[in-house]
Amino acid sequence: MKRLIPVSLFVLMAILLRPAAAADVRYPIHFPDLPGYTTLKCDFHIHTVFSDGQVWPTVRVREAWRQGLDGIAITDHIEYSPHKKDVSRDLNRVHDLAAGLAKQLNLLLIRGGEITKDTPPGHFNTIFVKDMTPLNDPDIVKQARLADEQGGFMFWNHPLIWGGKWTDVHDTLYKNQWLRGVEVCNGPTDTHYLTTFGLGLEKNLTLLGNSDMHVPDLRTRNTADDHRTMTLVFARQRTVEGVHEALLERRTLVWFHNEILGRTEWLAPLFERSIRVSKPTHRAKGKLWIDIENLSEANMVLRRAGNVGPTNLTLPARSVSNVEIRFDPKKPAPTELPYTVTNFLVAPDKGLSVTLNIPAEVESTKREE
C-alpha cells in the first residue's frame, strides 16, 4: 500500500535542495605590505549616472570589490549633470546610495566630488568631505576653502589635457595648502603623465593615479597586463581615516600600465618586499643559478647596472624565474647584483636602483633517498 508523503515534507525538501546562490568572488591584487604600513589599492576618481557616467553607484562598489581594490571615491562632477532629468541633484546622494553595499563588502568608500571648471584652471577632485552640498559654487577658490574647512583633500585632475597649465589660481590653492595632490596618471590613455609626474615631484604634492571611469568596467580582475590605473596607499590602518592620513603624508605610488611611479622612499621598500632571491640552486665552473621570485602583481623589467648577471631581466608578476649568472671562474662568485628597475620610475627619466643579494650559503642539491 502506498503511503502518502505530507505536503510539509515537500516544502522542507524544496527549501533544503534549492540551488545555493552563487557567492560573489573577489580577486585580491598582490602588492606586499611595507614595514609599519598596509598597502591599500585605491581609485579616487570614478563617475556614475549622477554626473556623466553610465552606471549606478552600487555597481562601482561591486566592480571595485570584485577586482580586489580596498577603497574608492565616487567623484561625480559637481557642476555638470547631463542626467539631471533622471537622477537627484543632491550631491550627497551618490555616496549614500553606495554606502550600504560598501559596508557589507568591507570596501572603503570615501565621499567626494569633481570640481569642474573650464581649463584653465580645469578639474579638481575633493575627497573626504562630509557634506558636498555647500561645494556647488562658481568660485573655485571658495570651493577649495570650504572643502578644506570640512577636512577635504583636493588634487588636480588630468592636469595637462585641453592645454592645461599651472596658473595664478593653482598658485593660490597651493599656497593656502588647499591643493595637496596631483593625478599623475588618469585612465589608461594619459599621454602627459611623465610631465605631470615631474610637476608633482617639483611641487611636493601627493602623487595619485586613478581610472576616471565613466562606463562599466567589465574586467573580472586586475592583473599585470590588464588593470585599471590606481593608487597604492601605504596606510597605518585599513580605514578611511588611515587612507586620509597616508594621502596627507604623501605615502603613495601610482600603478599605470606596467609602470609604477613614485618616490624612492616607497618604491625601494616595495621592490625589496616584492622580490625574494634564493641561495644558488646549482653551481658549475664560472656559473651559478638562482631563483628570483616576484611576489607582486607587476611585471618587473630590470637592466644590469654592474658587470655580472644577464643584461636584461624580466621578472613576470607572481612567478619564480631561474636565472643563470656567469662570472670569471678565477674570481669569487658574486653575492651582489646591481640592477635598475626600468619600469619602477622615481623620476620621469629614472628607474629605481636596486641590488639583488644572493644569500651566501650553498644550498644542498642532494636529494633525500
Cis check: omega of the bond before 121, within 30 degrees of 0: yes
Q: Is 170 in the site for Zn ion (CB under 5 A)?
A: no
Please return the burial class of 65, using the count of CB atoms within 10 Å of its CB with bins 0-12, 13-18 and 19+. Answer: buried
- Distance CA(52)–CA(8), nearest Å, equals 52
- Distance CA(32)–CA(128), nearest Å, equals 26
Q: Are 48 and 55 a contacting pair, CB within 8 Å?
A: yes
Closest residue to Zn ion using C-beta atoms: 123
CA 64 to chain centroid, in Å, comes to 11
Q: Are 155 and 179 a contacting pair, CB within 8 Å?
A: yes
Stretch that binds Zn ion, among 19-27, 52-60, 209-217, 340-348 (CB under 5 A): 209-217
Question: Residue 52 Cβ, how far from Zn ion at the closest point, in Å?
Answer: 8
Residues 241-260 that bind Zn ion (CB under 5 A): none
> Would you tell me how many other CB atoms lie within 10 Å of the CB of residue 233?
28
Question: Residue 209 Cβ, how far from Zn ion at the closest point, in Å?
Answer: 13
Nearer to Zn ion (CB atom), residue 63 or residue 114: 114
* Sign of the Cα pseudo-torsion (278, 279, 284, 285, in order): positive
- Distance CA(284)–CA(292), nearest Å, equals 19
Stretch that binds Zn ion, among 104-112, 122-130, 216-224, 229-237 (CB under 5 A): 122-130
Binding residue count for Zn ion, defined by CB under 5 A: 4
Contacting residue, 30, 60, 62, 123, with Zn ion by CB under 5 A? 123
Nearer to Zn ion (CB atom), residue 62 or residue 123: 123
Nearer to Zn ion (CB atom), residue 157 or residue 222: 157
Q: Is 60 in the site for Zn ion (CB under 5 A)?
A: no
Stretch that binds Zn ion, among 155-163, 193-201, 255-263, 319-327 (CB under 5 A): 155-163
Question: Residue 157 Cβ, how far from Zn ion at the closest point, in Å?
Answer: 5
Nearer to Zn ion (CB atom), residue 39 or residue 210: 210
Question: Residue 226 Cβ, how far from Zn ion at the closest point, in Å?
Answer: 21
Residues 6+ positions from 72 with CB-CB distance below 8 Å: 42, 43, 44, 46, 60, 61, 64, 107, 108, 109, 110
Stretch that binds Zn ion, among 100-108, 129-137, 163-171, 204-212 (CB under 5 A): 204-212
Question: Residue 168 Cβ, how far from Zn ion at the closest point, in Å?
Answer: 21
Q: Is 30 in the site for Zn ion (CB under 5 A)?
A: no
Question: Residue 251 Cβ, how far from Zn ion at the closest point, in Å?
Answer: 24
Q: Which of 228, 229, 171, 235 is nearest to 203 (CA)?
A: 171
Q: Is 212 in the site for Zn ion (CB under 5 A)?
A: yes
Residue span 90-119 as binding mask against Zn ion, x where in contact by CB under 5 A, dash where not: ------------------------x-----
Q: List residues near Zn ion by CB under 5 A.
A: 114, 123, 157, 212
